[in-house]
Amino acid sequence: MSSKTLRYAVTLVTAGALCVMLDSSSSAAPGAGAACAAQADALAEGLPSCVSAAVALDRLPAVGESATVRVALGAKTRVDGARLTLRLPASLRLETGGTGLSAPRPVGLDQVAEQTFALTTTGRSVSVRVTALAAGPAQIQADVAGADDKHAAHASTEFTVGATPGTSRSGLGGTSGPAVTRIPARVATNGKAAPLAAQAPAAAAAAGQICATGYLSVSDKTGAWIAARNVPVYVQGKTTSAAATVTYQSGLTNYQTGGYSLCFTAPVTQMYSVWVSFSTAGSLWQVTDLAGTSAYTTYTAAKGNVASGATLDFGTIAPPSTQMRGWHAFDTLNLLWYVRASGTNCWTSRQTSGCTKISLRWQPGSTEGARFNNSVPQAQRYVLLGDADPDSEHLVLHESGHAFMDQLYNGYWPTSDCPSPHYLHARTGPKCAWTEGFANAIAGYTKGDGRYYWADGGTIDLMTTAWFDSSKPAGRTNVENGDQVECRVAGSLIDLWRKVDNGPASTFSSMVAYRSDTFSHWFKTVRPARGLSVTASTRNLVYTHTIDYRTS
């Protein structure tokens, strides 16, 4: 399936059906249903795709052992300039000599090797050798992408390297893992975030106390290190080797730096051990495995024989590479939290306490995303993300934008009129264009670029004002016209927020007050009812996005 067009799923609900964006990746094996046509099942609503990928190992290596990785690529049509990207953790030594792949380069905690070639309908197989250097979870991923919308696929295999021969196994185990401490101390800011709770000042331990300080960081798709903000953090320890683990203090990482400084009164003059753990189970948003039962946790190495009065510096640490995308997705929700404009400590003004969470479900190798599931009771609704989906913060914000709209409308959704498949640049139905356009506007406005990016880097300009050229095929650079096109609705909303409404707050409050099934109803009926501008200049602004409300 394509990672440069939108894939959707339809989730049935009592009031009808909801069209939401599905993932931008595929793990289908070559020849296993990879056709240049949509699936017949409207509920699955698979996006047309002409390429496929699969990754396999000839054995599961233990530390010191080698294995052959085979990447099998398939195509239903010739793809010139297909780019193969192989990604794997630094705990595996990759040998690319004589394969045509580039020498591996570090990307965050991973390494990446690439090759570009013509992919024909006979397919292609690429084999490389890897050697396990350390025990622990490992994921090997392959992505193939061409210039055309239909030419992209993602595949992966996950396994755990054993310390001795015969002890390696398939799968990664649970959602908990030790933190990595050898990362750059300096991290970048990643958009704006707001505090979820009062931030305690940096502290030195007073008499009778022990303090823990440090920073949590995550890396994005490019390997850039960014601060992990508003993450639940816990200081834990044992008084003796046989004692039970106790959580002595908790808080959140700083909303700007990802730092923390937490102190507690020591129960003994010398603690046997003290460490810090972090969780993606936040009070307002969370990231769990696909079952929704386990959040991700990571923990520092323990410091032993800690005397009362000590201040412990745990440095700058990061989650393990196999869980990094889930932590990146967690941090991305800070961007939506910053623009929510609820006036309360919840997502919308409907709530002042007992806030409904936005829940994301993701795990390595997932082929379940991306979509928003509203077929369960409102408080239990969640976003599903595919393996590589968190690489695109726009995609995470889009799907979370559906969850945000769900809260603004208190669980109401228009009956679906989304065709199968449907695309951001093409005419859909007016209801589909409204719900999807809103989610795309959330992504483009919150990121500040007025664009949408897929996980493989493909992009579309939501702010395009060029009129559709009917002499050419519709596509990302030739967008169809009108309020039944998601891109046009998204661009109109972003321009209204930027140039007329002084931000999206008035739109959000209008959605709490009134339900709309279409952008037309919201603009023509709800905006004037809420005292928002529908003057000639405002209608002309919307008209620049090919939506003509000038005389209606």
Q: Which residues are catalytic?
A: 399
Closest among 387, 457, 370 to 141, alpha carbons compared: 387
Q: Which helix (H) or strand (E) holds 80?
A: strand 79-89
Closest among 109, 19, 49 to 367, alpha carbons compared: 49
Q: Retrieve residue 488's tokens.
A: 């046009």
Burial (CB < 10 A; 0-12, 13-18, 19+), residue 103, is exposed
DSSP string, 463-482: T--PPP-TTS--BTTBPPPS
In the DSSP assignment, the letter for residue 354 is S
Provide the sign of the torsion angle of the four alpha carbons 271, 272, 278, 283, taken in this order.
negative
In the DSSP assignment, the letter for residue 405 is H
Q: Sheet containing 110-119: which strands, arranged edge to edge?
A: 105-107, 110-119, 79-89, 136-145, 152-161, 169-170
Strands 259-265 and 246-252: unpaired
φ/ψ of 37, rounded to 5, equals -155, 155
CA distance 511 to 340: 12
Q: Using alpha carbons only, give the angle 133, 95, 85 rounded to the nearest 5 degrees.
A: 105
217 with 225: CB under 8 angstroms?
yes
Burial (CB < 10 A; 0-12, 13-18, 19+), residue 500, is middle
Residues 6+ apart with CB under 8 A from 104: 94, 96, 111, 112, 113
CA distance 189 to 465: 31
3 state SS of 203: coil
Is the bond preceding residue 370 a cis peptide, omega within 30 degrees? Answer: yes
CA distance 313 to 492: 49
Half-sphere exposure of 6 toward its Cβ, with a 13 Å CA cutoff? 34
CA distance 236 to 233: 10
